[in-house]
Structure 1
Amino acid sequence: MNIDYLIVGQGLAGSILSYQLLKRGKRIMVVDDPQLQSSSNVAAGLFNPITGKKMVKTWLADDLFPQLINFYGELEHFLNARFLYQKPIYRPFTSFAEQNEWIAKSADPTRQKFIQKNHHTSAYGDFVYDAFGGLELNFSGYVDIATLLKEYRAFLRREQMIVEEAFEEEKLTIFDDSAQYKHIEAEAVVYCDGPFSEEKSHFSWLPFRRVKGEILIIEPNEQIPVIFNRGIFILPLENGYCKVGSTYDWEDTSWDVTEKSGMELKGKLDAFFKKTYKIIDQVAGIRPATLDRRPFMGTHPVLKRLLIFNGFGTKGVSLMPYFSEKFCNFLIYGKELPFEANINRYFSLY
């Protein structure tokens, strides 16, 4: 079988990149083990233009957010499925000083489009503690990643574009002008397998920094009107449940849930959320984060038919539509990759 690109992994990165390549008329095949644990399937899928404790604008926000709404809407239409949910995120202020700071910041034209309303008094006091008001954001919401991946896998199956088995790296041979994997001959192979790329011999030298995250699934006694985000997020889902998260653990990178993280999340939730609720479940995933919190994209320093598209961490939903387009332009037209994401910044480690 002759194809253009063999994609290793059908998480969010592999799905988005393979779709972008198909749009450009390329022949692809995806190799993915359906039994393999995937952080994409348990991730909250939030996209949020104002993030962090200091409430700063997300890296590349002006480029990312208008594009991601269009991209996921287009993919919904292609798959005839619903997984994009645009929903305001409400971030309560913690003090009058922070409130005043954001009154000034709201006048900045580069921030105005991301702000739906700057509340100077409590806006959702029936639900959360917000005595100082808060910031209500535009270009925010979540992607139901599990549904996206399920529907995209069904498409790949129908079109016979997926091999559902574990990728066996020892059966991959890289030549100067092509790559061979079992019966498949490809122009190039792209690793999109999240934290598992770190276990592959060809990219184990890259400074991945796996981060475990755990999330609670709760059933509140009342429907939640917006996404709340301050210290933790409370994300209302279409089925009436909410996702609450997330923890960050750089030491324990197992896929197991822990009582410690469950108690941490419950403690933060009870200090922030006023409604009663029932805990339904607790899930864990391993984020494919990187040392400098920037993606890993580009060509292996020696094997020129071997590439990687990975390392998007907690902001993968926001980053991948934009960077997958950049990566396709690099693959197909030879355009330069953004410096911050190009793995050549770490070639000295090889």
Structure 2
Amino acid sequence: MIYDFIVVGHGLAGAILAETLRSRGNSVLVIDEPKENSASRVAAGLLNPVAGKRFAKSWLADTFIPAADAFYDALEARYSQELFFHKPIYKIFSSIEEQNTWMAKSAGGNWDDYISATYTQSINQPGIDDPFGGIMIEKGGFLHVYAMLDLLTEDLLQQGLYLPERFEMSQLQLTEAGVTYKSIAAKHLVFCEGYQVVNNPYFAWLPLQPTKGEVLEVQTEQNFSPECIYNKAVYVVPEGGGRFIIGATYDWRNPDEKITEQGKEELAERFRQITTQAFSVTGHWAGIRPAVRDRRPLAGTHPTHKQLSVFNGMGSKGVLMAPYLSQHVADALAGQTELMPEIHISRYYSLYYDYIKHQNL
């Protein structure tokens, strides 16, 4: 059998792309080494349409959010399991200056679709420390990424379409008809390796920056409202029963998967700035995100080897971006469209030619 696609990597990007390709009738084989502390499995799966201290609407949010809703709704219906939790996000102002920044920003645009309320003083919610108020962001939520990955992986395993092993680059051969890997043949291969693309000889030239993120699970003594996600320097995602996921740190200097006391204390201190309640730390994890210098994903076919493509670099925005971009990439792989220039790896071709020149020295 010759597969239409081999997808290497089954984190958030690889899983959603593989599912999208399969839904269009393509034969797909996934190769992935299971890891409990992969970035996708560690992440709280936040979807936030308004992010940052400058209160900027997330890039293409109007396009990405409907596609994400449709994709996760379809998975929930298929598996009869809730995976995506629609929750407003209460972004707490850290100062009067930040409150003023938002008031000026909101005066210059239409935020009705995303901001349901602005508070210039505390909302007086038990357990929440918000003396300067905040804004309530709609159309947010979080995905139980690990649960989604487990369901999709089990589906693939039952159909014999998942190889739970480390991809061995030495076993990959490029052919006129596509690729062969060991005894497996495919017309095309897509690398969705996350940060490990930095070790991929075909795509190591891409400017991807591995960035460690640590998260905590905490248990509060008294459960304050789980009806929204809280955000003030960190996110606070309700898991029920007084449990919350707190994250995340950003560390590009030490891109390993080891938890640290420094990361634990940083997250705990930031949580103390949000809540007046006592809490205990019940879990601590670390993963490595695939961040890109211009904060845009990386997608496209290799400039020389047309049998190979990459789909990567969504950083902390994968839950928001991956469903729509998987459709877009699938369309491009089928020759039905051109990739949008903002994500196409052609924007970094100059790095590729420098890389080749260096390799030939």
Question: Which residue pairs with 1:317 in the alignment?
Answer: 319
Cα distance in 2 between the residues matched to 1:94 and 1:235:
18
Greater mean deviation of Cα atoms: 325-334 or 122-131: 122-131
Distance of aligned partners of 1:107 and 1:291 in 2 relative to their CA distance in 1, 3 Å threshold: closer
SS in 1 for 2:292: coil
After TM superposition, give the deviation of residue 250 of structure 1 in Å.
Answer: 0.7
After TM superposition, give the deviation of residue 115 of structure 1 in Å.
Answer: 1.1
Q: 2:8 aligned with 1:8, yes or no?
A: yes
After TM superposition, give the deviation of residue 38 of structure 1 in Å.
Answer: 1.1
Question: Which residue pairs with 2:294 in the alignment?
Answer: 292
After TM superposition, give the deviation of residue 120 of structure 1 in Å.
Answer: 3.1
After TM superposition, give the deviation of residue 92 of structure 1 in Å.
Answer: 1.6
Kindly report which structure 2 residues correspond to 1:45-194, keeping only aligned pairs within 5 A, or say none.
45-103=45-103, 105-106=105-106, 110-194=110-194
AA paired with 1:191? F
Q: 2:303 aligned with 1:301, yes or no?
A: yes
Cα distance in 2 between the residues matched to 1:211 and 1:322:
24
Kindly report which structure 2 residues correspond to 1:16-31, keeping only aligned pairs within 5 A, or say none.
16-31=16-31
Alpha-carbon displacement from aligned partner over 1:127-181 (angstroms, at most 9, x marks no partner): 2221222101111010010111111111111121111111111111112331111
Question: Which residue pairs with 1:341 in the alignment?
Answer: 343
Distance of aligned partners of 1:199 and 1:124 in 2 relative to their CA distance in 1, 3 Å threshold: farther
Distance of aligned partners of 1:197 and 1:101 in 2 relative to their CA distance in 1, 3 Å threshold: closer
AA paired with 1:141? G
Distance of aligned partners of 1:202 and 1:277 in 2 relative to their CA distance in 1, 3 Å threshold: same
Question: Which residue pairs with 1:41 in the alignment?
Answer: 41
After TM superposition, give the deviation of residue 124 of structure 1 in Å.
Answer: 4.5
Alpha-carbon displacement from aligned partner over 1:293-328 (angstroms, at most 9, x marks no partner): 111100011110000001110111111111111101
AA paired with 1:283? W
After TM superposition, give the deviation of residue 224 of structure 1 in Å.
Answer: 3.4
SS in 2 for 1:149: helix
Q: Percent identity over the alignment?
A: 37
After TM superposition, give the deviation of residue 223 of structure 1 in Å.
Answer: 2.3
After TM superposition, give the deviation of residue 101 of structure 1 in Å.
Answer: 4.8
After TM superposition, give the deviation of residue 106 of structure 1 in Å.
Answer: 4.3
SS in 2 for 1:288: strand
Question: Which residue pairs with 2:356 in the alignment?
Answer: none
Greater mean deviation of Cα atoms: 106-115 or 210-219: 106-115
Is the 8 Å Cα contact of residues 49 and 139 (structure 2) preserved in structure 1? yes
After TM superposition, give the deviation of residue 26 of structure 1 in Å.
Answer: 0.6
Cα distance in 1 between the residues matched to 2:105 and 2:53:
16
Cα distance in 1 between the residues matched to 2:309 and 2:302:
6
After TM superposition, give the deviation of residue 57 of structure 1 in Å.
Answer: 1.0
Question: Which residue pairs with 2:259 in the alignment?
Answer: 257
Cα distance in 2 between the residues matched to 1:102 and 1:170:
53
Distance of aligned partners of 1:240 and 1:187 in 2 relative to their CA distance in 1, 3 Å threshold: farther
Cα distance in 1 between the residues matched to 2:283 and 2:193:
26
After TM superposition, give the deviation of residue 272 of structure 1 in Å.
Answer: 2.4
Q: Which runs of 5+ in 1 are unaligned?
A: none
Cα distance in 1 between the residues matched to 2:242 and 2:5:
40
Is the 8 Å Cα contact of residues 66 and 139 (structure 1) preserved in structure 2? no
SS in 1 for 2:111: helix
Distance of aligned partners of 1:109 and 1:25 in 2 relative to their CA distance in 1, 3 Å threshold: farther
Kindly report which structure 2 residues correspond to 1:211-222, keeping only aligned pairs within 5 A, or say none.
211-222=211-222
Root-mean-square deviation (CA, aligned residues, Å) is 1.7
AA paired with 2:160? Q
Distance of aligned partners of 1:239 and 1:83 in 2 relative to their CA distance in 1, 3 Å threshold: farther
SS in 1 for 2:269: helix
Question: Which residue pairs with 2:200 in the alignment?
Answer: 200
Alpha-carbon displacement from aligned partner over 1:228-257 (angstroms, at most 9, x marks no partner): 101111111145411111111010011000
Cα distance in 1 between the residues matched to 2:35 and 2:273:
38
Q: TM-score, normalised by structure 1?
A: 0.95
